[in-house]
Amino acid sequence: MRPLSFTIATALAWACAVSSTAILLPLYIWPSGDVWDPVYDAIASHPNIPFYVIINPSSGPGDTEYPASDYITGVAKLNSFDNVRVLGYIPTGYTARNMSEVRSYIFKYGKWSSYTASNISISGIFFDEAPNENDPAKIAYMRKAANYVKSSQFATSDNAPKTVVFNPGTIAAPGYLDSATFVVQYEGTYANWESQNPLKSLPLSQRNQTAAILNETPLTARFTNTARSMHTMGLGAMYMASGCCYKNDNTVEKVADAMAEA
């Protein structure tokens, strides 16, 4: 167990970091060999930028008590950085998935904190396929899922607040923000963002809880200009991916450099 002084110092460092727009990185690549090295390099080079890194071993935590050895190595490395929070991926099927299964996935990720050989603790959950409608039943479903993450049964290795992200990928009813750290209110192409900026009319009160994930971002894109516009808007988190399915990481250093200049 880490000493209390370490935990307090880490929490204070994180509190300072989260005053800026964070990077919400869907890291859906299997961590074999050196494929996550660009991510580690970007994180290390930008210690003042908070990174929320989403991992997805098997559309959830997988069937085993602890993840495969590649993930143990990768998650432990991510957790060695003070400016990183690792999030576990869980799809809700737009609330069609049985809550008992969602709950079991949440607590399986939480169980990783009991692994003694290295720190593979998960700091929160990224709920994909989240609803956006102003439907009391769906809002209640997501609130229940979020409360499971925030409960004492979802264990972490430090005392930092547990992170909950909902991903409807479009503007959601305000009720969802009551339970989430961030809501991804835009997930779409870079071209559509640049031409329309669908979040430009979003109320100011919602922006610090709003994330935007741009995909199909060309490597010639105006990364700094786009990052600056998101920062100026006051968005809580962002990312710009080159593909549609987050199967590579060839933009992470560009995004981190752009956010550092924003």
Give the model's pLDDT for residue 161. 85
Q: How confident is the model at residue 15 (pLDDT cuts 50, 70, 90)?
A: very low
Q: Which two tokens stand for residue 95?
A: 């609330």
Q: Examine the pLDDT at 37 and tell me if it is beyond 70.
A: yes
**pLDDT value of position 256:** 97
Distance CA 211, CA 52 (A): 11
Give 4-261's CATH code, choosing from 3.40.190.10, 3.20.20.60, 2.60.40.420, 2.30.30.60. 3.20.20.60
Is the pLDDT at 13 greater than 70? The verdict is no
- Per domain, the residue ranges of the chain are 4-261
Q: pLDDT digit string (tens) for 187-230?
A: 999 999 999 999 999 999 999 999 999 999 999 999 999 999 99
Read off the pTM: 0.93
Residue 2 has pLDDT above 60, yes or no: no
> Cα–Cα distance between 232 and 11 in angstroms, integer?
26
Q: Contact at 8 Å (CB) between 124 and 145?
A: no
Q: Return mean pLDDT, the chain.
A: 92
**pLDDT band at residue 96, thresholds of 50, 70 and 90?**
very high
pLDDT in tens, 178-191: 999 999 999 999 99
pLDDT band at 4 (very low <50, low <70, confident <90, very high): very low
179 within 8 A of 149, measured Cβ to Cβ = no
Strands 163-166 and 124-128: parallel
Q: Please write the tens of the pLDDT for every residue from 73-93.
A: 999 999 999 999 999 999 999
Inform me whether the pLDDT recorded for 18 exceeds 70: no
Q: What is the DSSP string of 127-187?
A: EES---S--HHHHHHHHHHHHHHHSTTS--SSSSPPEEEE--SS---GGGGGT-SEEEEEE
